[in-house]
């Protein structure tokens, strides 16, 4: 269920872990941040990525496993970017969320017709609208699974 999210997170982790992020902070702040857990989530993310890529579970990444994992990660990043663009388009009043009236205009909801789930089903934080991560749940639940990086075909005979 959470595949897209999980893989997106992994991919983002990889991107963030790239050496580009070697920025120096001005040391003007005397107080150390109290609740900054040092790098623990990153390690966890790396471990998760590794396990996901290590298909045969032998604790090593073969070149093939690496290439496949990397390609998949790229596809997922692409898909996530597409979804973000889509989300921005759907958010017609630009408040960063899908409001109820925007929700009823979603193609996926229109197509579902009477069987369309209520917005509240995806509104995890209960604020009456769907933020991007909640929108992803909706897409996961209602959209046909994209295969091989192809966006779901929604436009058959569009008018």
Q: Which residues bind Ca ion (CB under 5 A)?
A: 91, 93, 95, 99, 123, 125, 127, 131, 134
Residue nearest Ca ion, CB atom distance:
91
Q: Which of 63, 62, 85, 65 is nearest to 73 (CA)?
A: 65
Report how far residue 109's alpha carbon sits from residue 100's, in angstroms, rounded to the nearest whole number.
11
Nearest approach in angstroms of CB 136 to Ca ion is 12
Residue with Cβ nearer Ca ion (91 or 142): 91
Residue with Cβ nearer Ca ion (127 or 154): 127
Nearest approach in angstroms of CB 85 to Ca ion is 15
Residue with Cβ nearer Ca ion (67 or 105): 105
> Who contacts 1 (Cβ-Cβ below 8 Å, separation ≥6)?
140
Q: Give me the numbers of helices (H) and strands (E) for the chain, helices first please.
A: 6, 0
Buried b (16+ CB within 10 A) or exposed e, 46-64: eeebeebbbeeeeeebeee
Nearest approach in angstroms of CB 129 to Ca ion is 5
Nearest approach in angstroms of CB 138 to Ca ion is 11
Report how far residue 140's alpha carbon sits from residue 132's, in angstroms, rounded to the nearest whole number.
12
Nearest approach in angstroms of CB 149 to Ca ion is 28
Residue with Cβ nearer Ca ion (125 or 154): 125
Report how far residue 9's alpha carbon sits from residue 16's, in angstroms, rounded to the nearest whole number.
10
Residue with Cβ nearer Ca ion (76 or 123): 123
């Amino acid at each position: 269920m959470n595949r897209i999210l999980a893989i997106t997170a992994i991919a983002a982790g990889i991107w963030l872990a790239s050496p580009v992020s070697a920025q120096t902070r001005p040391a003007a702040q005397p107080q150390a941040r109290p609740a900054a857990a040092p790098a623990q989530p990153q390690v966890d993310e790396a471990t998760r990525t590794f396990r996901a890529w290590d298909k045969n579970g032998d604790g090593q990444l073969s070149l093939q496993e690496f290439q496949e994992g990397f390609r998949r990660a790229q596809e997922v990043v692409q898909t996530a970017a597409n979804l973000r663009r889509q989300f921005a388009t759907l958010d017609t009043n630009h408040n960063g969320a899908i409001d109820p009236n925007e929700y009823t205009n979603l193609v996926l909801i229109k197509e579902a017709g009477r069987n369309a789930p209520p917005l509240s089903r995806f509104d995890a934080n209960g604020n009456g609208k769907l933020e991007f991560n909640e929108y992803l749940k909706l897409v996961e639940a209602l959209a046909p699974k994209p295969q091989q990086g192809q966006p779901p075909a929604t436009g058959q005979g569009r008018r």
